[in-house]
Structure 1
């Protein structure tokens, strides 16, 4: 693929960024099925949050073009081939993991309206409605904003300049892959959809990983790419579930149970490698200290904030204390990874646990230092559930820089979940 020519051609015609409802992360579809079953009518609001306020999105991205892209997404529905892939494929060793009732609903779905407003140099973008519907806006909304920003920077570049830019970026990715080849028993997946440079670039990075790492590359979180490249679709669950369940809880006692209620519902639906705990929404140590014994029998834990090595050591100690053999357990690292950190964590934990990596933004959007003023460097953009049935959501995280929610509610959650002083860490996209 001549990616530079394809990018150059973006300048001269309308080119939809998101062309499929399955151009999303696999865990969104898994969570959507669970939400559709357990909370189909719950009203939830999602909102765009630009943590990197130095990136003036509203000055870079034309509002009309943004609306055009979002409106196009609202025209999309599952194609017959996509529905067949979801209904009949084997995921995580389970055939037909998506129930017929859910698929019947999803095949009729069109994404609901959005609210877009310019506020200074940023955009206010929000989605409000039934939880199973609005939750599917998150990934395509992020992908559109990220790629429109990339296109804005590339717009004034000449054809040969774009060719050289992508040659340098390709070389960077390939050199990372070559360094990862030295890691025996490596298991790594692409987790880079939400903050990718573009769809074409993510697809190229996935193909490079396939060729460069062979069987050590275990799949991608992006369903469209997984389907098109005949790869495993990878993903389990995310912070969205405990954040909404907690917001819906009445009283402190119900709030303290909410993260476990999420996993009890998940336990009823899934087995094996889909039983992976994401413990950091309200503090990993407290979550594990209060966890019911049945959770220790789950397959593994995903580490997504705080010091990843400390998080893994905490998980190992918890499994040992609960009579489990950590060597049989899976630890998935997925926060702020690049090849040096992957190598460091692999060296420390391989053989002690089953180690796996979900490599995100610094796989699919590492253009740092490749254009003037670093205008293509990745930045921290999220789209989060901010309210449920009119109640604000809260996230504490193991890294207080990722915390979100009204100050009074944050303090209440810290009290209920016993979260004390935390160490701030730089948020690596």
Structure 2
């Protein structure tokens, strides 16, 4: 077991670079990248870092030189032979050779493209521009670098024993959560914590704790490097990025209305089985399902990622019934801002009505609330999103208006096209 406190105290990033591999990323990014490589390889996109918690002034906390050093290190990475062998030869979701040879040859030669970094009003403006398959792979490393540099800045002046006590308290907190979770019969839970983790070493520790504490109730991790290292399942499907970019490329309102379904038609050609999971909330869950083509009803299930998760699940159950499908055979993956109490509540409400599963993120891999003075390690909402495609702005509406993004005029247009009415704002923690 790694002595995390000692490694943090030594402050030697050359031993512990924040991102140590191109597959230190979420599995869904690689699955989407292959689909984009096949269907939209020449689309030009811009990704941008967005700190939705303005009170956390990252540019005041994080040294610009250190940030550039870490980002430059990410640009130096390439796929290692063992990583390539794992991706080419491993079985994912029961399917061998998930990643095609042409995609793997491209990925093996990849170096991430340049970045643009500026300071403005206490925040970093970090952007990436270029071909979609290349630029999209910056998202997770960029978030990991900023999140961990913030953690390192807060911990920098702590002594070794103070750090040991801090991590002992955080470990105890995780274990107490697992003791509650393992009381849930038939629990299925995966680690989704890469995007806003405290650090790589901490996420790896949390995964090992899940393996021992939950046993077969733990289904795997979204992090490819940890999945390979710990010989567990890599978990993931697709994300909002796909419909956001496809929609930005639409040339008319009619094309815009069909864009989210075209995404899934392309995905349908690429994958089957458990990878056929709908993410319906990009432009409103209820409207998406109401207008969805019949063939989507036969898919494995849906992932709930914004708004009231219980309300969205009830909408999905009603939709499946109306389409002649048995909801008890459908998978519902809850993945928005989960912690133990919410997992317990949702399990109790929907177990037996659907196949319940959970993707546990920030409150697994970055719950240091109240453990340092001023609560300076409290989790915050940092995202890295596609903000334009071929020069056109992207839009996300979400089931929670606090997560909406895009120019106001385009947001209004998208609400009209997708029939989004009044929405209820939910507190935005992460």
**TM-score > 0.5, shorter chain as reference:** yes
Give, in whole Å, the separation in 1 of the partners of 2:87 and 2:14: 32
Give, in whole Å, the separation in 2 of the partners of 1:317 and 1:12: 51
* Structure 2 residue runs without a partner (length 5+): none
What residue number does 1:143 align with? 144
What residue number does 1:375 align with? 376
SS in 1 for 2:11: helix
Is 2:216 aligned against 1:238?
A: no
Give, in whole Å, the separation in 1 of the partners of 2:299 and 2:283: 19
What residue number does 2:198 align with? 197
Change in Cα spacing, 1:156 to 1:13, as seen in structure 2 (3 Å) is farther
What residue number does 1:419 align with? 420
How many residues were matched structurally? Answer: 429
* Structure 1 residue runs without a partner (length 5+): none
What residue number does 2:326 align with? 325
Higher mean displacement: 81-90 or 2-11: 2-11
What residue number does 2:336 align with? 335
Change in Cα spacing, 1:5 to 1:267, as seen in structure 2 (3 Å) is same
Give, in whole Å, the separation in 2 of the partners of 1:33 and 1:171: 39
Give, in whole Å, the separation in 2 of the partners of 1:12 and 1:307: 40
Give, in whole Å, the separation in 1 of the partners of 2:233 and 2:304: 21
How far apart are 1:399 and its partner, in Å?
A: 0.1
Give, in whole Å, the separation in 2 of the partners of 1:426 and 1:81: 43
Query: Which runs of structure 1 show a deviation greater than 6 angstroms over 4 or more consecutive aligned residues?
Result: none
Q: Once the two structures are superposed, what CA deviation does each residue of 1:127-184 show, in whole Å capped at 9, x if it has no partner?
A: 0000000000000000000000000000011111100000000000000000001100
- 1:220-369 equivalences under 5 Å are 220-369=221-370
Give, in whole Å, the separation in 1 of the partners of 2:15 and 2:172: 29
Give, in whole Å, the separation in 2 of the partners of 1:250 and 1:32: 23
Please give the TM-score of this superposition, normalised by the length of structure 1.
Answer: 0.99
- 1:15-164 equivalences under 5 Å are 15-164=16-165
Give, in whole Å, the separation in 1 of the partners of 2:393 and 2:127: 14
Give, in whole Å, the separation in 2 of the partners of 1:426 and 1:285: 20
Task: Provide the aligned C-alpha RMSD in A.
Answer: 0.8
Please give the TM-score of this superposition, normalised by the length of structure 2.
Answer: 0.99
Q: Once the two structures are superposed, what CA deviation does each residue of 1:395-423 show, in whole Å capped at 9, x if it has no partner?
A: 00000000000000000000000000000
How far apart are 1:7 and its partner, in Å?
A: 1.1
Contact 2:21 2:77 in 1 (8 A): yes
Change in Cα spacing, 1:414 to 1:226, as seen in structure 2 (3 Å) is same
Give, in whole Å, the separation in 2 of the partners of 1:229 and 1:72: 24
How far apart are 1:12 and its partner, in Å?
A: 7.8
